[in-house]
Structure 1
Amino acid sequence: MAFQSIKHFALELDGPDDIVYSSGEMVTGVVILELTREIKVRSLRVLGRGVAIAHWLENRSVGVNTVYNDYTSKTIYFRKRQHLIRDNGDLTVIPAGRHEYPFSFQLPEETLVTSFEGKHGSIRYWVKVKLHRPWATVKKIKKEFTVIEPIDINTPSLLAPQAGTKDKMARIWYRNCGQVSITAKIDRKGYTPGEVIPVFAEFDNSTSRSVVPKAYITQTQTFIARGTMKQKRAVVATLCGDIVGPRRRETWHGRAIKIPPVGPSILQCRIIKVEYMLRVCVDVPGTSKLSLELPLVMGTIPLHPFGSRTSSVSSQYSVNMEWLRMAIPEQPEPPPDYSSVVTEEEAAQNSTAVQPEEDLSGVLQPSLLAYIQEFRSRPPPVYSEVDPNPQPITMRRRCMTC
């Protein structure tokens, strides 16, 4: 029978299994066809694809029936096709034995968005092989590969310091009992996973009660389809400060919060975004949480060791680097739910869609940190759930010998 004729049918990409590509690079490989006897083939072709898709279902009750709304959007980054055996109307006879068919195609020069896997969408790149034979089903092989969008944090916009001030009046019943204020600064906007962010902050507690300052790094995944937005939010790192007593002031002279091995920011995709924020906050007695947000961008190309300027923020303080190292625990406690760090106003805005979710497996990827460390040595190229919902990015290392 026909299926007994094919002993081995495989698709192999050149390089290691965890190879990573970027815009403009060549994807090369070979299709292996091992036969026990000769077969007739109509065509053999290779297809390359890059697609972003956002998708989810929402249901609502209409009487005794349930109506489902399908939200789907798609962005195609490229389509490639190469004929290894062209269908010209005649059948091609392939003799028994092992046959190898090399193929290659170039990724588009324009920026390709980083590979991503999320609850409500994905950004995937793959190669597919199709073998067409007369009077037989089409045999298919599909292999995905990873693409990284280089984000160089050595750009002026990502080297710019981030700072802000926020205050709120504390209340007991209907009586004002003092004000709490936060002033916070970080030396730049762009960082890479594994780095430490020194947080410079001042907490002024003018109330009669103690408050506890904290800082969090949060990740927000946004999915967009049919004009509707779905979000997943997660806390990926935490920093807890000392208690600030009544009518006291506390200053952070570069308190350290370490970035875990998360995926890079995704900002250039029309339907999927991954964004990060440093949130500095305190619980204000008698009212909602006071929270100050400073935007972050997770890059892939780290800060250059030469030529970097002294930040106008960090130069104001003397940071004890030995203390910074001691301040970072080897095994930090798991981060809290996102719902515990947002203000009541934010929780109210999302109250129709807030569901606690503690699975951060998609957010924290231990293998990613090792990849980022290798990616750094390359020269620059020519997770509670909110439904507007914690999970990010599947990524693999690139072999530096390639």
Structure 2
Amino acid sequence: MIFDKLKKFDIVFDSPEVDCPPVYSSGDVVSGRVVLELSGESRVDSLKLHAEGFAKVHWTESRSAGSSTAYTQNYGDEVEYLNRREVLLQADNGEVTVLPAGKHEFPFSFQLPEETLVTSFEGKHGSIRYWVKVKLHRPWATVRKIKKEFTVIEPIDINTPALLAPQAGTKDKMARAWYRSFGQVSVTAKIDRKGYTPGEVIPVFAEFDNSTSRSVVPKAFIIQTQTFIARGTMKQKRSVVATLCGDIVGAKRRETWHGRAIKIPPVGPSILQCRIIKVEYMLKVCVDVPGTSKLCLELPLVIGTIPLHPFGSRTSSVSSQYSVNLEWLRMAIPEQPEPPPDYSSVVTEEEAEQRHNAVASQQAEDLSGILERPLMAFVQEFRFRPPPVYSEIDPNPQPINMRPRCMTC
């Protein structure tokens, strides 16, 4: 039987670089070969290839229908981006093909759709995946299957007017504890532009005016928000991917940041064009006020793939374009940085509840317009995953890119 004679069954993608998986974009040609290695003469009915690409979301929520009744509600949806089939080996007259012992290669090639695809992604409640599946049919034998994923990255060029525009804002708050007022705290912040690429440093210009009778602590965070949408309902996961800690601002004092640096770690690009999955980023400048809730100012960010003033223009192969621009996939993590805090340490329970209620009240509106706020990349597999909460993995994790914690934070 061919099952016993099949020594190797593999899919190999053509790549311009040795030992470097290719990266594709919409309109690119995906090519490669299916490799069969046989220890003896074997009979084959057919060898068929199926290329697919889907965005899928799924999660469950527990519901209560009374004191003694409970049930689980399932939410799920999917969007198809690719569906191509190709026959690599099959006799025209329907008879079997006899393959001699040795190595056999069957080339394949297909073009990705010209319309914009969505960047590959792996999240807690959903994923965006592209793969090639090959089935080997033999007489009187079980069908052998093999599946191999490939990566799609849709370019986001930050050299556009919308992403080069400065982002700024001002916010103030009266610091109170119970019925006592301690005075007002205000924060004004600005960044040079909205679009950045992984590895870049964002200079934060900010002014903190502390008119209270207590000292306050300014901080800044880069936050990633993953949004999953199904059946008119949303599920969100937020993670802090970078943090910046400032010096204490004493009572009745003012502190100014003249371009304090916060570096973007090797996260995946923003995903804004998918109907059911979005990945967005924001810069959050906060002031910790003892005895009361935080004062936070949010500035939207877009994490792109084509850096400022890129070299050359886009070619037919996104792999060649990203020879310079995908350095974020290979960036080394600096030594001894500070791990980012959990999202719960940045946002209080009160703020989280207010945000949840605000989101729930908007579910009846057009979902494409309600998400206006802006994955660690696995270098080996070129698949993006969200930066996990460290406590979920290891009590002594290796931290991601951070500046050392100041003594006052």
Q: TM-score, normalised by structure 1?
A: 0.79
After superposition, the C-alpha distances for 1:301-331 in whole angstroms (9 at most, x for unaligned) are 001179xxxxxxxxxxxxxxxxxxxxx9853
How do 1:127-276 and structure 2 match up within 5 A? 127-276=132-281
Which amino acid counterpart does residue 4 of structure 1 have in structure 2? Answer: D
After superposition, the C-alpha distances for 1:103-160 in whole angstroms (9 at most, x for unaligned) are 1001111221111111111111111111122322111111101111111000000000
| CA positional deviation for 1:202 | 0.6
Provide structure 1 residue ranges, at least 5 long, that are not aligned to the other structure: 307-327, 353-362, 372-382, 391-402
2:314 aligns with none
Taking a change above 3 Å as real, the CA distance of residues 344 and 182 of structure 1, as seen in their structure-2 partners, is: farther
Q: Secondary structure at the match of 2:156?
A: coil
Give me the whole-angstrom Cα distance separating, in 2, the residues matched to 1:243 and 1:95.
75
1:109 aligns with 114
| CA positional deviation for 1:88 | 5.1
Q: Secondary structure at the match of 2:262?
A: strand
Taking a change above 3 Å as real, the CA distance of residues 137 and 275 of structure 1, as seen in their structure-2 partners, is: same
Which amino acid counterpart does residue 295 of structure 1 have in structure 2? Answer: P
Q: Contact 1:58–1:70 (CA<8 Å) still a contact in 2?
A: yes
The answer to whether 1:4 aligns with 2:4 is yes
Identity over aligned pairs, percent? 71
Q: Secondary structure at the match of 1:3?
A: helix
The answer to whether 1:50 aligns with 2:47 is no
Say which of 343, 347, 359 aligns to 2:352.
Answer: 347
After superposition, the C-alpha distances for 1:219-264 in whole angstroms (9 at most, x for unaligned) are 1111111222111111111111111111111111111111111111
The answer to whether 1:74 aligns with 2:65 is no
1:25 aligns with 28
Q: Contact 1:114–1:147 (CA<8 Å) still a contact in 2?
A: yes
| CA positional deviation for 1:344 | 4.9
| CA positional deviation for 1:287 | 2.6
Q: Contact 2:182–2:214 (CA<8 Å) still a contact in 1?
A: no
1:357 aligns with none
The answer to whether 1:92 aligns with 2:101 is no
Which amino acid counterpart does residue 14 of structure 1 have in structure 2? Answer: D
Which amino acid counterpart does residue 50 of structure 2 have in structure 1? Answer: L
Which amino acid counterpart does residue 31 of structure 1 have in structure 2? Answer: V
Provide structure 2 residue ranges, at least 5 long, that are not aligned to the other structure: 312-332, 358-374, 394-409
Give me the whole-angstrom Cα distance separating, in 2, the residues matched to 1:210 and 1:365.
39
Give me the whole-angstrom Cα distance separating, in 1, the residues matched to 2:135 and 2:6.
14
Q: Secondary structure at the match of 2:203?
A: strand
Give me the whole-angstrom Cα distance separating, in 1, the residues matched to 2:51 and 2:238.
32
Give me the whole-angstrom Cα distance separating, in 2, the residues matched to 1:213 and 1:29.
53
Give me the whole-angstrom Cα distance separating, in 1, the residues matched to 2:255 and 2:89.
72
Say which of 316, 335, 342 aligns to 2:340.
Answer: 335
Say which of 35, 58, 64 aligns to 2:38.
Answer: 35
Give me the whole-angstrom Cα distance separating, in 1, the residues matched to 2:223 and 2:273.
19
Q: Contact 1:172–1:285 (CA<8 Å) still a contact in 2?
A: no
| CA positional deviation for 1:351 | 7.7
Taking a change above 3 Å as real, the CA distance of residues 211 and 366 of structure 1, as seen in their structure-2 partners, is: farther
Q: Contact 1:46–1:82 (CA<8 Å) still a contact in 2?
A: yes
- Stretch deviating more after TM superposition (200-209 or 219-228): 219-228
Q: Contact 2:223–2:242 (CA<8 Å) still a contact in 1?
A: yes
Q: Contact 1:168–1:181 (CA<8 Å) still a contact in 2?
A: yes
1:395 aligns with none
After superposition, the C-alpha distances for 1:23-71 in whole angstroms (9 at most, x for unaligned) are 1111111112233343333321111111110112223466777633221
Q: Secondary structure at the match of 1:275?
A: strand
Taking a change above 3 Å as real, the CA distance of residues 105 and 305 of structure 1, as seen in their structure-2 partners, is: closer
